[in-house]
Amino acid sequence: MRILIHGGTVITFGSPCRVLEGRAVLIEDGRIARIAPKEAIPGPFDRTLDATGKVVMPGLVNAHMHFYSTLVRGLGKAAPSANFQEVLDNLWWRLDRKLSLDDVDISAEVVLADAVRKGTTTLVDHHASPFAAAGSLDRIAGAVRRSGVRACLCYEVSDRDGQAVTDAGLEENAAFARRCASEKDPHLRALFGLHAAFTLTDATLDRAAVLGRDAGVGFHVHVAEAASDVAYNLQHHGLTSVARLAGHGLLGRGSIAAHCVHASEADQELLASTDTFVAHNPQSNLNNAVGIADVLGMVRRGVRVGLGTDAMTVNMLEEIRVAMWAQHLRQDNPTCAFMEIANTLFARNPELATQLWGFPLGTLEEGAAADVILVDYHPPTPLDGNTVLGHLVFGISQATVDTTLCAGRILMEGKVLCNGLDEAALAARSRELAVKLWDRF
């Protein structure tokens, strides 16, 4: 289809993030074919979208997500937890052991419908269902395809549930990576998932390293999320979490280290030297009381730091605001880190998505994927290249997404989903499965 978006203010993202007035965006065959004045783009068009009173932006990218956590919403059966390990023991590890493939499917579909509403069109997910591992990534992939967005999937390998479960997780990663390599579906990509160094033996890390390299994919792993992760690895292996993973060849340009809240200065240097991407998840870190990552320090040392949500939300503009305030508190400086935090979402996340998919994502430029959102916004102050990041953080973040496109397909228009997903029916099915899951829990 040839789709013309006109009348809005175009915000490109990237570095620098540009503001283009008086420009229309032409979409052809799932890519952005041209950005130019409307009168300079000849028709005919299959569709025209009037963006008057709106900003036209790239679809947002989430660098670390857990679709499977959907059915925990409102669950009150977990015992109170005094620290992060107890949060895992009392809630998350109890939950993931009880998940069925139907739970996995509906959890993803509900989240992905909401992602379309929030303008998040690319998500990097990290999945765990240890007693329903085989086929779980294919079920999530089916939900991704039905939603129309893009997702990079992996399975969370851990030794905490025994050898058979470990083997199943390793094979699930390898099988899905083979599928992605074979199908070359532009909506799906694979990484090799690992839980965290403190739940993995050296033997399992070595097996994962070989399988991941054979599959040609990087790794996605929780790193130094809590101080206890670092302490365990120092006590049992004489290395920090970062150093131990690096020693097994699991860090590097193709890998994502989620959290890194307790990465030391030496760890940060190692993350930088290996060019490992760090996914910062401030809302989750605050919720679990594990601390606030030193984003400013990591960026100064050359670490590529992006932004994830760890399933707290799919609203990336909400997450970036929390990241800003949290970094002010972490650095004890209310005016620091504005550019460093802004770049996590508007520059680094697009770089990550582009790296994973192999073609430009997360930016509005000719030749890039046509993942585009239209957001209601009348700027009350001048909106230009000098002020755009302030508008994104303090204004557009509070606005409503009107229209969402991914790969040139309109998934939501006029705030109504048009991708075939029935939100009410999904919610009803989710409630039905949640009751059964909670009984098992």
Q: What is the mean pLDDT of the chain?
A: 97
Residue 243's nearest CA partner among 259, 254, 257, 228 is 257
Tens digit of pLDDT for each residue in 24-43?
999 999 999 999 999 999 99
pLDDT at 115 over 90: yes
Angstrom distances, CA of residue 9 to CA of 40, 61, 153, 406: 17, 20, 33, 19
The answer, yes or no, to whether residue 255 has pLDDT greater than 90, is yes
pLDDT, position 78: 85
For 356-387, write each residue's pLDDT tens digit. 999 999 999 999 999 999 999 999 999 999 99
SS3 379: coil
For residue 280, the model assigns a pLDDT of 98
The tokens 């150093």 sit on which residue?
Answer: 243
Every domain range in the chain assigned CATH 3.20.20.140: 60-357
d(CA 184, CA 367): 19
What is the average per-residue pLDDT within 117-134? Answer: 98
The pLDDT of residue 234 is: 98
pTM over 0.95: yes
Percent of the chain with pLDDT over 70: 100
Location of each CATH 2.30.40.10 domain in the chain: 2-58+369-417
Find how far residue 289's CA is from the centre of its chain: 21
Distance CA 242, CA 227 (A): 12
- The CATH code that applies to domain 60-357 is 3.20.20.140
Confidence of residue 76 (pLDDT cuts 50, 70, 90): confident
Per-residue pLDDT of 405-418, as tens digits, reads: 999 999 999 999 99
CATH superfamily of 2-58+369-417: Urease, subunit C, domain 1 (2.30.40.10)
Please state, in angstroms and rounded to a whole number, the distance separating the CA atoms of residues 410 and 228.
45
Q: Which pLDDT value is given to residue 309? A: 98
Per-residue pLDDT tens over the stretch 391-438: 999 999 999 999 999 999 999 999 999 999 999 999 999 999 999 999
pLDDT in tens, 137-182: 999 999 999 999 999 999 999 999 999 999 999 999 999 999 999 9
Query: Is residue 77 scored above 90 in pLDDT?
Result: no
Q: How far, in Å, CA of 349 to CA of 58, rounded?
A: 11
* Distance from C-alpha of 306 to C-alpha of 299, rounded to nearest angstrom: 10
| Strand partners for 50 | 6
